[in-house]
Every structure is written in structure tokens, then in C-alpha cells.
Amino acid sequence: MSLEQFLLAKGISAEKILEIEYIKAVVPQKEEGPSLHDDWVSAVDGSNPGFILTGSYDCLGRVWKNTGSCTHILEGHSGALSSIRIINSDGMTDVTVATASKDRTARLWKFDAEEVINHPKKIQAFKILRGHKASVQSIAPKTSGDMVWLFLLNCIFIDVCSGSWDCTINLWRTNKSNAEGDQVSIKKRKVNNQADESQLEAHGAQSSFSKAEAVSTLVGHTQCVSSVVWPEHETIYSASWDHSVRRWDVETGKDLSDIFCGKVLHCIDVGGEGSALIAAGGSDPILRIWDPRKPGTSAPVFQFSSHSSWISACKWHNKSSFHLISASYDGKVMLWDLRTAWPLAVIDSHKDKVLSADWWRGDSIVSGGADSKLCISSGIYIHFQGKSEIIDLHMEEG
């Protein structure tokens, strides 16, 4: 709607001085060529500015440096990957990655992203986390807020939580201090330790399952836990097919609060203002954002409904408290500003369902979809200072 139409529609005289508050639409500067996969790209992670991680339905995880150059292939899963996350994002040399797969396992990987190779290097997992009874839908590492505590223990623990179709969230803790020596898989449950010999043979070492550290299992969801995030040391947020978002206390294993939304939820992310807003999308075209600090209500504070199909992924910008992206099965990735009801940018580069999306380097959006492509839209400059420009507009008659 143009300004003239707007004035006519509202019956405002053109002589008047209008104060117009506007937010500039953001247009990606550059669409980089898609990185082609063999199968659907179900998971992406762009939290390390040096590379992009993707997980695919061909049971492989990939590491991409820029577009089109795959450096590492994470091999070993027997089912489609559902989630992939970088555990420590501080450097390039010693990268640890966690993947969740529909083969009911989660795996931990380690590689050096720095090394220069012209041929994709295949990497095996150094830990296999078994224990879920159904396919693992989501995995989330603990955001390393308290490194001091970790160093005091003189070894670095990897804390991971994962949500699954068996309605539980498992918390895993492994130490990676001597990962090179003997491959130690620590798992919460010591079931079926004999069934995965083939996996372990690939590592060439006998696993000792005696050190299993049962951190805990968070039971409470009644249906598939589709997404988990671990933004704070103590708290885990999870979204589930039972229409609820739950906040868990890690120490006690109890859920602190529930938010019911009425729809199946597929993705959740916590961020925004004070890293407290919960964004979640699910089996309807509405992206909902809750503020758990607001007492007495479980109604979402924001609802964005420009999508036309299920929302598969949502991600907050890690610096701005207003911006987030959402990916949907309608093939679009949308960039949202909390202050407007309309998307700032619509990235329509996918031909099919978009299954995952993430920020990369703060100004790019990476997304993977059912068209087996990883799309990178870069040059998105957003004003995350939160200052919208106000201009005065004086319209002449005629």
C-alpha cells in the first residue's frame, strides 16, 4: 500500500504533517551459490564464523568452508541426522560437534577445521551416546558460561542434552580430556552395550562403559520432544509435540514451568531481550514468542503469521535482541523484527521445504531444505541498536 492509498483509506488530509515511523526492509546483498548435498539438509549450524555444519538425510554430517567447499564429512550414523551443533565455538583448531540422528543415537565428533585439504576428510565419531529408545530429534550443548568451573575440574566436560521421540530428554556428560587415547563413551544408560560392536570397531578400540555418568533424564513430556536448548547453566528449555514448552531445572530434573500453545511444536530458541524470550514454531504458520518473565499469562507476546506452512526452525540473532529468523515448509526463510508485524526480509531461495536455518557470522543466514541445498544469504545488515528513524514528511497537494 502506497502512502497515497493509505491516506485516502484513512481519510487523512494530505496537508497534514505526518510522523512516520518506519523500519527499513532488509534485502540480502548477496545470494551465494547453493552447496549441493546428496539428500535433504535437515540441520545446519553456523555458530562458528569459520565454517558451517550441515546434517543431512544421507546420514552424513558435513563441514563447509564458504560455499561449495566441503572440508570434512562426519560419517557413522545409520539414520538421518536430525540435529547438529557445535559444542565449543571458540576456535578453529579443536572443534567438537554433537549430532543427533534418527538411528536413536547421538554422536560426538572432533576435528581440526584449520587443516588445509582439498579432499573432504572423513571423520568418525569419538563418542556414541546411546540410550534413547526412539529417534533423537534434537541435541543442544550447554552454553559454556562458566569455564572456570570446568577448568577447576582439570578436565573439560562436554554437557549435552538431547530430546527424542521417546518423550524424554537425556542429559549427557563426557570428558574429552583423553579423547585420542582410548575412546570412552560414557552414557547414561548401560543398555545394549554389546549390540554396537561394529560401531566401536571402527574406532579400533574397546569401549569401557563402566564410567557411565548418569546425569539425568528429564521425564515429563507426553510426546516427542522435538527441540531442546540449553541457554543457561541451570536451565533447559524444550518444545514438544504435546503442545508444551517446558523449562527444566538441570540439577533437580524438575520442570519449572509450562507454556501450552495448542499446537505441535517443532523448534524452540531462547534469546532476544535479556536472553529470556522464547520463540517457538510448530505445526501452524505462526511463529510465537513468549516472555516467561511476564507473570500470570501463557499467551504469547508476539505472533508472526506471514508463513503459509509449518515452521521448521527459528533462531535469534545472537547480538540483536529484536531480530530472529524462521524457516518454514513453504520454502521461505523470514527475518523478523519484534517491532514490526511484517517480515523484514523474505529469503525465497529454496524450491522445497526449508528444514533448518541459522545465522552465520552475524550478517548471513544459512538454511538447508528438502531441495538438498544449503543456501547462504549474506550481507544482511540489521540495526540491532534498536533505533528506528523518524522522519517528518510533508506532502504537497497534487
Partner 1 sequence: MREGKKGSTGASSLKKKEKLKKTKTNQNHNEEDNNTIITKKKNTKKTAKKVQFEKQEEEPLQKKKQQQQQLPTTDSQSESGSESDYEDFSEDDVSEDYELLRQSEDGESESSGEEVHGNHSDSGNDDYHGLEDHSNSSESHQGVEESDSSEDEVVPRNTVGDVPLEWYKDEKHIGYDISGQKITIKERQDKLASFLASVDDSKNWRKIYDEYNDEEIELTKEETKLICRLLKGKAPHAEFDPYPDYVDWFKHDDALHPLSNAPEPKRRFIPSTWESKKVVQYVRGIRKGLIKLDEPKEEEQRFYLLWGDDSSAAEQANRLSYIPAPKPKLPGHEESYNPSLEYIPTQEEINSYQLMYDEDRPKFIPKRFTSFRSIPAYENAVKDSFERCMDLYLCPRVRKKRINIDPESLKPKLPSQKDLKPYPATCYLEYKGHKGAVMTISTDASGQWIASGSTDGTVRIWEIESGRCLRIWEIGEAVQYVAWNPVHELPLLAVSAGQDVLILNSGFGNQEDQRKVKELLHVQTPTALDDSDNMASIVSWHQDDKHDGIRLKHFKTVTSVEWHRRGDYLSTVMPADILLFLSKKLSHRIPFKLHGLPVSSVFHPTRSVFFISTKKNIRVYDLVKQKLIKKLETGLREVSSVAIHPAGDNLIVGSREGKLCWFDMDLSSKPYRVLKCHPKDITNVAFHRSYPLFASSSDDCTAYVFHGMVYSDLNQNPLIVPLEILRGHKTSNGRGVLDCKFHPRQPWLFTAGADSVIRLYCH
In whole angstroms, the minimum distance from the beta carbon of 165 to partner 1 comes to: 6
| Nearest CB to partner 1, comparing residues 257 and 308 | 308
Distances from the Cα of 289 to the Cα of 19, 30, 137, angstroms: 29, 29, 22
| Nearest-approach distance from CB 264 to partner 1, in angstroms | 6
Cα–Cα distance measured from residue 63 to residue 56, given in angstroms and rounded to the nearest whole number: 11
- Point out which residues bind partner 1 (CB under 8 A): 40, 42, 57, 80, 104, 133-135, 165, 192, 195, 223-224, 226, 241, 262-264, 266, 283-285, 309-310, 329, 353, 355, 370
* Residue with smaller CB distance to partner 1, 221 or 315: 221
CA 326 to chain centre: 10
- Contact 41/84 with Cβ under 8 angstroms? no
Report the nearest approach of partner 1 to the CB of residue 262 (Å). 7
Number of other CB atoms surrounding residue 289 within 10 Å: 22
C-beta of 40 vs 126, nearer to partner 1: 40
- Within its chain, how far is the Cα of 306 from the centroid? 21
| Phi then psi dihedrals of residue 231, to 5 deg | -80, -30
Per the DSSP assignment, residues forming a β-bridge with 333 are 327, 347
| Closer residue to partner 1 in complex, CB, 344/374 | 374
Any bridge partners for residue 150, and if so which?
none
Closest approach of Cβ 253 to partner 1, in Å?
24
Assess contact for 280 and 300: CB atoms under 8 A. no
Nearer to partner 1 among residue 330 and residue 337 (C-beta): 330
Q: How far is the CB of 389 from partner 1 (least distance, A)?
A: 38
- Output the smallest distance, CB 277 to partner 1, in A: 25
CB nearer to partner 1: pick between 113 and 167: 167
CB 379 within 8 A of CB 366: no
